Amino acid sequence: MPVRLIESLATTGPLAEVFSDASVLQALLAFEVALARVEGRLEVIPQDAAQVIAEAAIPANFDAAAIAHEASHAATPGVPLVRAITEQVRNRSAGAAGFVHWGATSQDLCDTAMVLLLQKARPILDGGLARLESALRRLSQQHRRTVMLGRTWLQAAPPITFGLKAAGWFGAVQRGRQRLHAAFEDALVLEFGGATGTLAALGKDGPRVARALAEELGLGCPEAPWHTHRDRLAGLVCACGVLGGSLAKMARDIVLLAQNEVAEASEPAGSGRGGSSTMPHKRNPVGCTLALAAAQRLPGLVASFLSAMAQEHERAAGGWQAEWPIVADVVQSTGLAITSMADVADGLHVDADRMKANIAATRGVIFAERASILLGRKIGRDRAHSMLEEASRTAIATNRSLREILAESPEITEHLRPAELRDLDVAERYLGAAEEFRRGLLASLPTGRAGRSKSVQRRPDGKRSAGKAKTRRKK
């Protein structure tokens, strides 16, 4: 499905397809077909009725636009869809029509359909994160010895390595991926509770129908229906919000490094990428910009979802109905940020020479801390700090190196050896534990394989069990 023009800066092609009308309709129908098949297999409804329902509930038989139009009259697309399925079934078998949607409610249908859409979105997000992690690991390794300015409050500070900076991005992305993995594990569960979450219409068959339905759809079966308990979805939405923030931090760093006055890194260039409609020379950081735009949207979306969690009793009036577009926007914004930053990291150009030149341009004042520590061991921290403040101001005012200023001061040369002064502004000798920290970040545990979700189920003895979710059968 082509991305709609109004969403061209808010999603990706694959995720637009996941949340397209055709995909949503397929997910809704998948629930109804699976329900009928399971109930037929368990002899809750006649098997021939289940077969007719399965044959009738195919996307080609339904008009998504018409269902969307009618949804506003019921505050749910479930009512017009069930009505349309029933009509299709009645055209084939009047008797079978009475068993459509047997024992279920509209929220069962809509919530489970959303979970099925999230199940489809999951490998898309994880694939992008895997690509991003791989690119960041490669950058970190490649630039483990590339020194650059550290920057605090956007001002020059003692040096770090670009390898450490990239490893910091990597660590945040990997932690975000782990949170997302856990949130998907928790959220990909069936919703099936009937009118008020008791499955009373199915009598003693309710729990076994629920377990079989979850297995049929490849979802976990929760301990109980979750009509107005939205914490699982909220966990996923929040995990997306945190991940979006981490991607935005990386994007912001790169945008600042790409400024002409800094020029230490730049996004990959190519035909039609990063250009301007009026300035031919421009090489705009488009990938970072898209990620930052997504991150601008996410906090508001997350807050909207959380504010809708106070849902009344056994069925909400407003809260539940608010969720579909919020969840869809959250996942698509997150996916766009992931894809954008993976593209950036894959082709990021790092200018090591410019990084060294920017260090040199500080005239060594970024090593005032180093000199203060060396001197402080001899004359005390406070006195040394005061002397280095004055020396730094003089170096900046006279456009001379800090090392030269210090070498002219008898009070300082009395305590600092010539070798200490000579090596003062060698960046490679003032990196502390940068390499140890870099290796530690890259050695952190990887995320478990995506898509291998564990279903939460109850054994006949009532105890909790976990197993790999089965792949949803083709309908």
Q: So what's the pLDDT on residue 82? A: 98
Q: Is residue 42 part of a domain?
A: yes
Q: Is residue 111 part of a domain?
A: no
Q: Is residue 419 part of a domain?
A: no
Q: Is 239 in contact with 176 (CB distance < 8 Å)?
A: yes
CA 125 – CA 338 distance, rounded (Å)? 7
Is residue 132 domain-shared with residue 274, that is, in the same domain?
yes
CA 175 – CA 111 distance, rounded (Å)? 28
CA 91 – CA 88 distance, rounded (Å)? 5
Is residue 54 domain-shared with residue 81, that is, in the same domain?
yes
Q: So what's the pLDDT on residue 2? A: 74
pTM: 0.90
Q: Is residue 231 part of a domain?
A: yes
The residue ranges of DSSP E strands in 65-201, in sequence order, are 147-152, 155-161
Handedness of CA 124, 126, 127, 132 (dihedral sign): positive
Number of neighbouring beta carbons within 10 Å of residue 418:
9
Q: So what's the pLDDT on residue 464? A: 42
Is residue 184 domain-shared with residue 206, that is, in the same domain?
no
Q: Is residue 171 part of a domain?
A: yes
CA 159 – CA 165 distance, rounded (Å)? 11
Number of neighbouring beta carbons within 10 Å of residue 421:
18
Query: What CATH number does the domain containing 278 carry?
Result: 1.20.200.10
Is residue 264 domain-shared with residue 200, that is, in the same domain?
no
Phi-psi region of 314 (alpha: psi -120 to 50; beta: other; left: phi over 0): alpha
Beta strand 349-350 pairing with 265-266? antiparallel
Q: So what's the pLDDT on residue 26? A: 98
- For 166, residues 6+ apart whose C-beta sits below 8 A from its C-beta are 136, 139, 140, 143
Q: What is the mean pLDDT of the chain?
A: 92
Q: Is 127 in contact with 180 (CB distance < 8 Å)?
A: no
Q: So what's the pLDDT on residue 280? A: 56
Rg (CA), the chain: 30
Q: So what's the pLDDT on residue 440? A: 97
Is residue 35 domain-shared with residue 81, that is, in the same domain?
yes
One pLDDT digit (tens) per residue for the chain, 475 residues: 678 888 888 999 999 999 999 999 999 999 999 999 999 999 999 999 999 999 999 999 999 999 999 999 999 999 999 999 999 999 999 999 999 999 999 999 999 999 999 999 999 999 999 999 999 999 999 999 999 999 999 999 999 999 999 999 999 999 999 999 999 999 999 999 999 999 999 999 999 999 999 999 999 999 999 999 999 999 999 999 999 999 999 999 999 999 999 999 999 876 656 554 455 566 788 999 999 999 999 999 999 999 999 999 999 999 999 999 999 999 999 999 999 999 999 999 999 999 999 999 999 999 999 999 999 999 999 999 999 999 999 999 999 999 999 999 999 999 999 999 999 999 999 999 999 999 999 997 765 444 343 434 433 333 444 444 444 443 3
Is residue 179 domain-shared with residue 296, that is, in the same domain?
yes
CA 36 – CA 54 distance, rounded (Å)? 7
CA 400 – CA 114 distance, rounded (Å)? 64
Q: So what's the pLDDT on residue 449? A: 44
Query: What CATH number does the domain containing 47 carry?
Result: 1.10.275.10
CA 333 – CA 8 distance, rounded (Å)? 11
Residues carrying an active site annotation: 276, 315
Is residue 98 domain-shared with residue 206, that is, in the same domain?
yes
Q: So what's the pLDDT on residue 452? A: 40
Is residue 336 domain-shared with residue 316, that is, in the same domain?
yes
Q: So what's the pLDDT on residue 284? A: 85
Is residue 252 domain-shared with residue 137, that is, in the same domain?
yes
- The β-bridge partners of 270 are 273
Q: Is residue 44 part of a domain?
A: yes
Q: So what's the pLDDT on residue 447? A: 54
- The β-bridge partners of 152 are 155
Residue with tokens 């790999």: 468
Is residue 336 domain-shared with residue 256, that is, in the same domain?
yes
Q: Is residue 25 part of a domain?
A: yes
Q: Is residue 422 part of a domain?
A: no
Count: domains in the chain: 2
Q: So what's the pLDDT on residue 271? A: 66
Is residue 322 domain-shared with residue 439, that is, in the same domain?
yes
Is residue 90 domain-shared with residue 202, that is, in the same domain?
yes
Q: Give how far the C-alpha of residue 120 lies from the chain's centroid of Cα atoms, to the nearest Å.
A: 15
Domain holding 100, by residue range, is 15-104+196-217
Q: So what's the pLDDT on residue 4? A: 87
Q: So what's the pLDDT on residue 463? A: 41
